[in-house]
Amino acid sequence: MYDALVLAGGEARRLGGRDKVALVVGGVPLLDRVLAACASAQQTVVVGPHRSTSRPVTWCREDPPGGGPVPALRAGLAHVTAERVAVLAADLPFLTPDVVEQLVDRAPAVLSDGQREQWLCGAWDTALLRAAADDAGPRLGELLARLRPTVMTWPGPAAPWTDCDTEEELADARRRA
């Protein structure tokens, strides 16, 4: 049993400020693709502006809105009740249920391309994550690295840690989907 916490409140500056999580890859909005990957969660909390989604979720906002991933993490954790939580970016077009389950089973765990960790594609012990978030500075990677997660590498061009932060990454994801 786990909860999913999806961060969906970024400003998408590198995409011209468009609503990134509403962008479509393979016929499905990015947020809905992530929601499908964590459908087995006992509850899913999405931090960001309210949008239409393919399934019910609990919505909340960080304070101040647009304050970044650490305030968003804190806001979402206030709604998490499970002992483990998958913390996911809303722009992971190739995330699958199998990957989420593997992360949760190995928590604390985070995906990596072999060179850098994708901090918004991991699973954590909720109590330890809450304590770290309460004591955290401004950088998400520093906060999560202190929890010493297992780093899972995933080879391949359409890896589940792949996100869509730029026009080029979005176009590449659309080609691969």
Within 8 A by CB and 6+ apart from 127, the residues are 83
% of the chain exceeding 90 in pLDDT: 70
The secondary structure of 72-87 as a DSSP string is HHHHHHTT--SSEEEE
Give the number of domains in the chain.
1
Looking at per-residue confidence, does 118 or 163 come out higher?
A: 118
Largest pairwise CA distance in the chain:
41
Mean of per-residue pLDDT scores for the chain: 91
pLDDT single digits (tens) 86-136? 999 999 999 999 999 999 999 999 999 888 899 999 999 999 999 999 876
pLDDT of 165 above 80 = yes
Collapsing DSSP states into helix, strand and coil, what is residue 66?
Answer: coil
pLDDT single digits (tens) 15-33? 666 788 889 999 999 999 9
In this prediction, residue 136 carries a pLDDT of 66
In this prediction, residue 116 carries a pLDDT of 86
Report residue 13's pLDDT band, with 50, 70 and 90 as the boundaries.
Answer: low
Segments forming the whole domain that contains residue 47 = 3-176
The 8-class DSSP code of residue 146 comes to: T
Query: Domain holding 54: CATH number?
Result: 3.90.550.10
In this prediction, residues 73-79 reach a mean pLDDT of 97
pTM value > 0.85: yes
Question: Cα separations (Å) of 13 from 26, 166, 174?
Answer: 23, 9, 20
| Helices 30-37 & 97-105 angle (0-180, nearest 10) | 50
